[in-house]
């Protein structure tokens, strides 16, 4: 849900504010940071999924870090 929300916000920013598109690595990093903030604020169900420090999240960041 967190990722969907952030993608929706990015879409709205592009459509309504004519902002420049961000690359995938930047979006993944923003989602990771936002997830860490949610956990720090007490999102226990998100933390139960292994966030932060979720190996899958780290792998996603590495996967999308290369410029295509």
Spans of the chain below 50 pLDDT: 54-64, 66-68
Question: Residue 8: its pLDDT value, please?
Answer: 92
- Residue 16 in domain: no
DSSP states of 19-45: PPPPPHHHHHHHHHHHHHHHHHTT-HH
Question: Residue 53: its pLDDT value, please?
Answer: 55
- Residue 7 in domain: no
Among the listed residues 27, 25, 29, the one whose alpha carbon sits nearest the alpha carbon of residue 7: 27
- Residue 3 in domain: no
- Residue 56 in domain: yes
Question: Residue 55: its pLDDT value, please?
Answer: 45
**By residue range, what is the domain housing residue 54?**
22-68
For residues 38 and 35, what is the distance between their CA atoms, to the nearest angstrom? 5
Total-model pTM: 0.60
Q: Which two tokens stand for residue 3?
A: 């990722």
Question: Residue 51: its pLDDT value, please?
Answer: 66
For residues 28 and 59, what is the distance between their CA atoms, to the nearest angstrom? 11
């Amino acid at each position: 849900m967190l990722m969907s929300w952030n993608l929706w916000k990015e879409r709205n920013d592009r459509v309504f504010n004519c902002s420049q598109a961000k690359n995938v690595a930047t979006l993944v990093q923003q989602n990771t940071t936002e997830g860490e903030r949610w956990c720090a604020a007490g999102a226990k169900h998100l933390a139960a999924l292994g966030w932060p420090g979720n190996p899958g999240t780290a792998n996603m960041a590495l996967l999308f870090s290369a410029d295509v």
